């Protein structure tokens, strides 16, 4: 049986997936080091394709530290190829901190390829700290060199990035500009000296891009309306999903659609937060690619985007709601979201904290909003109790009639909400107290203008979110539509008591 002092774990790391031999080379050097010192490697922790700038995405190192700090480590030594493999932390003290935690737990860290012994002497301490600083500085210098190289490539008309965007495709070209191959999602250049350019994608996608500009400039559609139009036409975005307003805005605002290569619109270096760079610091090259829209159309779109981004005054927003009230006789999120002259629903939420506070500003109180939700909920709870009692069950409920128990076995929550969410996020929020998560949630769909029940959504436990409230956007409502019902007969049949042997 091996003594604890002879047991060791190895930690190996490579920065990118392109370093296919790095882990094997490190492991070979570590194995030779261990053999010379009579150590047996009993554990291996590998971070493949992980940057050494931080610990957040390095699952193996975090697992190693957890094992060491919890006292469950069955080894007394950690073998690392060199100081840089432990990490290229931008703060040398962070690297020292993780090593200190190991030492505090009685586990030493040894660097196999370094020219010093990590014995705590003055010489090794000084040299180790210099190596740590050098490892961090290497990342900073490499980042600056890579950024400068990318800027030079873009200034010459090449494309830097992985996703070309809707209506565009990447093509790898040689050093003379000759096309080598069309690249698909996830493809990388086979030859490092090759460069990438953008070309128009399939004709049907090019037509959609021009339709977006036409809807925005000629038909004066809002960005939200354009997204709805595309989704109604069953057109998928670049990722194969439904269109969101942010994706539509990218088509309208990104200079690549007028044939301009652009880079460094945002900056995120060495695990720092992403920041927007001023337009004067962008790296651009006009006429780098074949344009999908003319320069004039693109400039016109930018002018309209700037105009649309202007802040609305409170008076303008309330006047818009008043106009909707006069035209439709009622107001709800669906009507506001579909009105082309009104600010979007999220604008009202950001300014007033929701649509209902804005309604109150103009003196509008919808039929459903006048405290009707509790009435609807209580009436549904009473209906459920009556029908289940007819089927031999017993129902008890809390004081607010928001959650009921059937036969002490089944928990059912009952909530009521407006019939349809419109656009944006969190259009329909059904708030519940933080009770125990129910087995079934019964959502009563109510028309805000007529206060009529429009049906139910009977949602099972497995698809309920973990929060104490359920937020239903239009996209989520579509996914939950399979659970819709015109009546509660399905729920009643689920709760029906059946005598043992009745079916035999």
Highest mean pLDDT among 370-374, 387-391, 416-420: 387-391
Collapsing DSSP to helix, strand or coil, 172 comes out as strand
Report, at the CATH architecture level, how domain 372-495 is classified.
3-Layer(aba) Sandwich (3.40)
What pLDDT shows up at residue 166? 93
CB-based contacts of 272, cutoff 8 Å, min separation 6: none
Structure token digits, residue 459 = 């949602």
The CA-based dihedral angle spanning residues 96, 101, 102, 104, taken in that order and rounded to the nearest 10 degrees: 120
What is the dotted CATH code of the domain comprising 168-308? 3.90.1750.20
- Residue by residue, DSSP assigns 401-454 as SSEEEETTTEEEEEEEEES---SSSSSEEEE--S-PPPSEEEEEEE-TTT--EE
Q: What is the pLDDT of residues 109-149, one digit of tens each?
A: 999 999 888 888 888 889 998 988 888 888 888 888 888 88
Burial bucket for residue 179 (CB in 10 Å: 0-12, 13-18, 19+): exposed
Structure token digits, residue 482 = 């399979």
372-495 and 4-140 share a CATH fold? no
Q: What is the pTM of this model?
A: 0.56
Q: What is the pLDDT of residues 40-62, one digit of tens each?
A: 999 999 988 777 788 888 889 99
Backbone dihedral angles phi then psi of residue 196, each to the nearest 5 degrees: -125, 140
Instruction: Reply yes or no on whether the pLDDT at 401 is more than 50.
Output: yes
Of 223, 217, 214, 230, the closest CA to residue 250 belongs to 223
Distance between CA atoms of residues 469 and 402, nearest Å = 12
- 83 and 135 Cβ atoms separated by less than 8 Å: yes
Instruction: Reply yes or no on whether the pLDDT at 274 is more than 80.
Output: no
Distance between CA atoms of residues 274 and 414, nearest Å = 43
Q: Which of 4-8, 45-49, 75-79, 185-189 has the lowest mean pLDDT?
A: 185-189
454: number of Cβ within 10 Å: 14
What pLDDT shows up at residue 424? 39
Please state the rounded mean pLDDT for residues 86-90: 87
What pLDDT shows up at residue 22? 82
What pLDDT shows up at residue 432? 46
CATH of 4-140, one of 3.20.20.140, 3.90.1150.10, 2.70.170.10, 3.40.50.1390: 3.40.50.1390
* Domain boundary assignment for the chain: 4-140, 168-308, 314-361, 372-495
Collapsing DSSP to helix, strand or coil, 472 comes out as strand
Collapsing DSSP to helix, strand or coil, 499 comes out as coil
Collapsing DSSP to helix, strand or coil, 106 comes out as coil
32: number of Cβ within 10 Å: 11
Collapsing DSSP to helix, strand or coil, 485 comes out as strand
What pLDDT shows up at residue 293? 94
């Amino acid at each position: 049986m091996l003594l604890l002092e002879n047991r060791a774990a190895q930690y190996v790391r490579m920065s990118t997936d392109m370093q296919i031999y790095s882990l094997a080379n490190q492991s070979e050097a570590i194995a030779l080091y261990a053999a010379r010192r009579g150590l047996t490697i009993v554990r291996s922790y590998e971070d493949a394709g992980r940057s050494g700038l931080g610990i957040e995405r390095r699952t193996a190192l975090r697992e190693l530290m957890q094992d060491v700090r919890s006292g469950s480590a069955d080894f007394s030594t950690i073998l690392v190829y060199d100081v840089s493999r432990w990490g290229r932390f931008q703060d040398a003290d962070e690297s020292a901190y993780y090593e200190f935690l190991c030492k505090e737990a009685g586990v030493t860290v040894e660097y196999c390829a370094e020219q010093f012994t990590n014995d705590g002497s003055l010489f090794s301490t000084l040299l180790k700290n210099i190596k740590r600083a050098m490892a961090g500085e290497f990342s900073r210098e490499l980042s600056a060199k890579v950024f400068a190289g990318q800027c030079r490539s873009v200034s010459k008309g090449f494309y830097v990035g992985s996703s070309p965007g809707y209506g565009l495709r990447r093509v790898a070209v040689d050093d003379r500009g000759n096309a080598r191959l069309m690249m698909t999602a996830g493809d990388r250049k086979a030859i490092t000296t090759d460069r990438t350019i953008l070309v128009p994608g399939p004709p049907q996608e090019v037509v959609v891009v021009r339709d977006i500009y036409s809807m925005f400039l000629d038909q004066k559609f809002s960005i939200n309306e354009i997204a709805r139009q595309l989704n109604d036409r069953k057109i998928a975005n670049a990722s194969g999903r439904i269109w969101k307003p942010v994706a539509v805005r990218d088509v309208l605002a990104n200079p690549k659609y007028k044939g301009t290569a652009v880079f460094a619109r945002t900056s995120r270096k060495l695990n720092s937060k992403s920041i927007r760079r001023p337009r004067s610091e962008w790296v651009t090259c006009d006429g780098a690619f074949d344009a999908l829209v003319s320069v004039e159309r693109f400039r016109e779109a930018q002018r309209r985007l700037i105009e649309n981004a202007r802040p609305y005054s409170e008076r303008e927003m309330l006047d818009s709601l008043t106009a909707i009230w006069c035209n439709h006789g009622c107001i709800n999120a669906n009507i506001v979201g579909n009105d082309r002259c009104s600010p979007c629903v999220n604008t009202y939420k950001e300014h007033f904290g929701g649509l209902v506070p804005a309604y109150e500003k103009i003196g509008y109180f919808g039929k459903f909003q006048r405290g009707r939700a509790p009435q609807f909920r209580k009436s549904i709870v009473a209906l459920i109790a009556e029908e289940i009692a007819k089927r031999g069950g017993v129902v008890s409920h809390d004081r607010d009639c928001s959650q009921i128990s059937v036969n002490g076995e089944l928990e059912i929550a009952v909530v009521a909400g407006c019939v349809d969410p419109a656009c944006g996020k969190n259009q329909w929020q059904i708030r519940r107290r933080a009770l125990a998560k129910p087995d079934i949630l019964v959502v009563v769909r109510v028309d805000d203008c007529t206060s009529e029940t429009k049906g139910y959504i009977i949602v099972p436990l497995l698809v309920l979110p973990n929060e104490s409230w359920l937020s239903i956007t239009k996209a989520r409502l579509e996914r939950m539509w399979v659970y819709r019902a015109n009546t509660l007969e399905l729920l009643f049949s689920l709760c029906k008591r059946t005598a043992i042997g009745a079916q035999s």
